[in-house]
Amino acid sequence: MEFVIFQSLGGLGMFLFGMKIMSEGLQKIAGKRMRQILNMVSNNRFVGCTAGMAVTTIVQSSSATTVMLVGFVDAGLMTLTQAIGVILGDNIGTTVTAQLIAFKIQDYALPAIALGVFLKFFVGRRKWAYIGDVLLGFGLIFYGLTTMKMSFVPLKESEAFISLFTRFNADSLAGILLCVLVGTTLTMVLQSSSATVGITMALACQGLLTFEASVALILGDNIGTTITAELASIGSGINAHRTARAHTLFNVIGVLNIILFFPFFIKLVLWTTARFIDIGHPDLIVGGEKPNIARHIANSHTMFNVVNALFFLLILPYLTRVAIWMTPHKKEGEEIEDFYHIKYLDTKFIDTPSVALTQARAEVIRMSEAVKVMYDDVINSLNGRKLKELSKWRKREDVIDLLQKEITQFLVKVMQRPIVPEESKEVASLMRMTNNLERIGDAIENIAELEEELIEQELYFSEGGLKDYETISCEVRKFIALVLNAMRHEDREIMPHAQKIEDSVNNMREVMREKHHMRLKNGMCTVDPGLIFVDMLTSFEKIGDYCYNIAQAVAGQK
C-alpha cells in the first residue's frame, strides 16, 4: 500500500512540476506575444474568444491567462465585456492539454527530459534554455502520468478500492453530482485542472472509473478551476471581481446545463469520436487496460467547453449584466478602473499619424484629469484625517504610471513611422506632457506619504501652517486646472498665465518657509510637523515646475 501511495504521489508531483516548468517556459518564449494578442482584443465577443483561445493554447496555462485578465481589468486596461469574451476562449484553449495527454507518446518522455536538461544547463543562450524548460516540462508531464498509471495497477486487485470506486458511478443524478463534487474539490486543492484530467485518465485507463464517471469528474474540474480567478481578484477593483464572477457563472451554469442533458452529451461524445477519429468504445478492455478511454475523456473536455462557449457568446450581454448584478459597486463616485482604462488608443491607426496623434492627445488629457482627481483627493484628505480615504492615492498612482507607459509606447510606434516634422514635434510635446504628468503624480505621492505620517504620529500643523498649506495647495490646483484646460483646447497663449502662477508658487514657497522659521523661533509650532511642512512646500513647488513644463509643451516651445 505504501508503494502505491508514494508512487502515485510521486507521479502527481512530477506531473504538476512538469506543467509548471512547461508553462513558465512557454510564457518566457511567448509572453510578449501573449500580451500583444490580449492588447488586440476588441469589443467584438468573437474576437475576444479567439484571442483567449490562442493565448491559452500558446502558454498552456488557463490560470496564467485568467490571472492576467483580472490584472488587466483591475488596471482599467481592458473592459469587463472584453475580459469575459477572452475567458470563453481561455476555457477552450486549456483543453489542448488534455488532448496532448491522450496521445500515446509516453515513450518520448525520457528523451524529452534528457534533451530539455541539456538545453537548459549546457547551452549558454537564454532562448535555448527556455526551449529546454518546455521540453523538460513536457517530458515530466508524461513520465509523471505514466508513473501514476503504473501505481494504480495493483488497485485493480484490491476489493476495498474496487468497492470505493464503484461509488463513482454516474448512472444516477446523485452519482453524477458526487463525481462533479469530487472533481471540483480535487481541482481546487491541486490548483490545476490539467492535473485532475491526468488523474482521471490514469484511473480510467486502469478500469477503475467508467467513462460516464470520468466525464462527470471532468465537469467538476471545470468548476474547480474558477478558484484561480476568484483568488486573483482578492484585493482588486470592482471590475476584477466581476470578471471572476463571470468566469464562475460561465462554468457553473455550463456544468448544470450538461448535467440536465447528461445521457445525450455522453452519446454526442461517443458518436463524434467514433465518426471523426474512428476509435472503439471507451470501455473496451485490451490487456487489462482501456486504450480508448483517454481520447474520449479529452474529447468530452473539449466538447463541453466549445458548446459552453458558443452558448454564452450568444448571450454574453446577459452574462455581463448578471456578473454586475452579483457584484454591485458602492455609489461613492466613479470607480478608478472605469475611469482610467485606455479608451482612445488604437494601434490600427498608427499608420495614419494624424488620427493616431488625435487619439494620443485625447488619452493624455484623460491622464491629466486622473492627476487632478488624485491631487484633490490627497489635499482634501488632510482635513478629515482619515487614512482609509487617503490610501486611495496608491492605486491612482499605479494607474497613472500604467497610463504613462501605454501612451509613451504608442507615441514611440507613431514616431517610428514616416511622419512630417510638424507631427514629430507634436509627438515630442505629447511625450513631454505625459512624462511631466507622471512626475506630478510622484510629487502628489510624496505629499500623501507626508500626510500619512502626520496622521499616524498624531501630529498637527499650527494654525498659521495650516493656513499656508491651504493657500499654496489652492494655487497649485489652479495651475493644474490651467494646464488641463490649455491641453484640452490646445491654447498656445498659455505662457503668460503659466509664468504668473509659476512665479506665484515659487514666491509662496520662499515666503512660507520664512514664516515657518519665525513660528519655530516663537514656539508657535514644533519640530516634527514643521519638518513635514517644509517637505510639503518643496513638493508643491515641484508640481508647479512640472505644470510649467507642460505649459511649454502646449505652447509649442518644447
Contact between residue 465 and residue 535 where contact means Cβ atoms under 8 Å apart: no
Residues 6+ apart with CB under 8 A from 283: 210, 211, 290, 293
- Cα distances (Å, whole numbers) of residue 149 to 152, 194, 218, 257, 487: 5, 15, 18, 32, 67
Q: Quick one: CA torsion of 399, 401, 403, 408, rounded to 10 degrees? A: -170
The mean pLDDT of 255-263, rounded to a whole number, is 90
Mean pLDDT is highest, among 113-127, 275-289, 534-548, for 534-548
Q: Mind giving me the DSSP string for 37-93?
A: HHHT--S-HHHHHHHHHHHHHHH--HHHHHHHHHHHHHHTSS-HHHHHHHHHHHHHH
The mean pLDDT of 396-405, rounded to a whole number, is 84
Residue 376 banded pLDDT, cuts 50, 70, 90: confident
Name the nearest CA neighbour of 246 among 41, 61, 43, 79.
Answer: 79
293-314 and 80-93 helices cross at what angle (nearest 10)? 160
- Taking residue 279's Cβ as centre, other Cβ atoms within 10 Å add up to 15
Per-residue pLDDT of 146-161, as tens digits, reads 787 677 666 656 666 5
Name the nearest CA neighbour of 494 among 482, 506, 505, 502.
Answer: 482
Q: Give me the pLDDT at residue 331, please.
A: 47
Name the nearest CA neighbour of 312 among 297, 322, 302.
Answer: 322
Residues 6+ apart with CB under 8 A from 252: 223, 226
Identify the weakest region by mean pLDDT among 35-49, 66-80, 126-140, 427-441: 66-80
In the chain, DSSP finds a helix count (H) and a strand count (E) of 24, 0
Distance, CA of 415 to CA of 403 (rounded, Å): 18
The mean pLDDT of 368-381, rounded to a whole number, is 85
Averaged pLDDT of the chain? 79
Look at the domain 354-555 and name its fold. Answer: Methane Monooxygenase Hydroxylase; Chain G, domain 1 (1.20.58)
Distance, CA of 197 to CA of 209 (rounded, Å): 13
Distance, CA of 196 to CA of 215 (rounded, Å): 11
Distance, CA of 104 to CA of 108 (rounded, Å): 9
Distance, CA of 151 to CA of 122 (rounded, Å): 33
* Cell numbers standing for residue 532: 513635514
The mean pLDDT of 383-393, rounded to a whole number, is 66
Per-residue pLDDT of 70-127, as tens digits, reads 655 654 556 777 778 888 888 788 788 778 777 777 778 888 889 888 888 887 677 7
Check residue 209 and report its DSSP letter.
Answer: S
Q: Give me the pLDDT at residue 169, please.
A: 75
Higher per-residue pLDDT: 412 or 199: 412
SS3 289: strand
Which residues is 464 bridged to in the sheet?
none
At position 479, the amino acid (one-letter code) is F
Distance, CA of 142 to CA of 111 (rounded, Å): 11
Residues 6+ apart with CB under 8 A from 280: 274, 292
Backbone angles phi, psi at 358, to 5 degrees: -65, -40
Distance, CA of 287 to CA of 291 (rounded, Å): 9
First to last CA, the chain: 78
Cell 506630478 belongs to residue? 440
Residue 286 banded pLDDT, cuts 50, 70, 90: low
Residues 6+ apart with CB under 8 A from 229: 66, 67, 69, 70, 87, 243, 244, 247, 248
Domain ranges of the chain: 2-152+162-326, 354-555
Higher per-residue pLDDT: 283 or 205: 205
